[in-house]
Amino acid sequence: NKIILNTTLSSMKTTIFWGYFLFPLFTLLGLSAFSQGSDTQAGATGVPVTLPFAATGSTVSATNNYDIGGTTVDDGPDWFYYHCATSNATIWVTITFTPNITNPVLPSITILDATGVTLLGQTQIFGDNSGTYGIPYTPTAGQCYYFVIDNDGATGGFNYNISMSNT
């Protein structure tokens, strides 16, 4: 009995020590190094996504950092994801969302080249429909791209689930 008691106390000390050390470390890393995407192009470049990728996101607290002249498809709060293609396989970008009932938005997915200037593809859902929609894009291996989740300028934004894969 005495040996079991000493082993249990010894294990508790180790568990307590590692728990106190690891929890703050993982909390800190979870807020920075492991987060995906960003409210800005520069921020997204620092945390590129690898495929397959899936995440929950929101444009609710985001700012409007990206607009194309002459269209309102992308004139609202936006969120950027950055990906560098390793093959020429088609990438499917899909979002599932539920619009805000009092202020519906028209979500869009925009694909830009690595400069963040050249529009390569864009799709938008019209009306206040809930559901899933997406856009396929065939990248060039070795090139990097921004995938932007945006809306039509309505305030408040929306929550969404995003997935990106090339299978």
Chain-centroid distance of CA 9 in Å reads: 44
Whole-number pLDDT of residue 99: 67
> What residues have CB less than 8 Å from 20, skipping those under 6 apart?
none
Q: Give pTM, 2 decimals.
A: 0.73
* CA pair distance 93, 46, nearest whole angstrom: 20
Encoded amino acid at 22, one letter: L
Cβ atoms of 164 and 52 within 8 Å: the answer is yes
Predicted confidence pLDDT, tens digits, the chain (167 residues): 444 444 444 444 444 444 444 444 333 333 333 358 998 899 999 999 999 999 998 888 888 887 776 666 677 888 999 999 999 999 999 988 876 666 666 788 989 999 988 889 888 766 555 678 889 999 999 999 999 998 776 666 788 899 999 97
Question: Which amino acid is located at 129 in the chain?
Answer: N
Instruction: For the chain, count helices (H), then strands (E).
Output: 2, 8
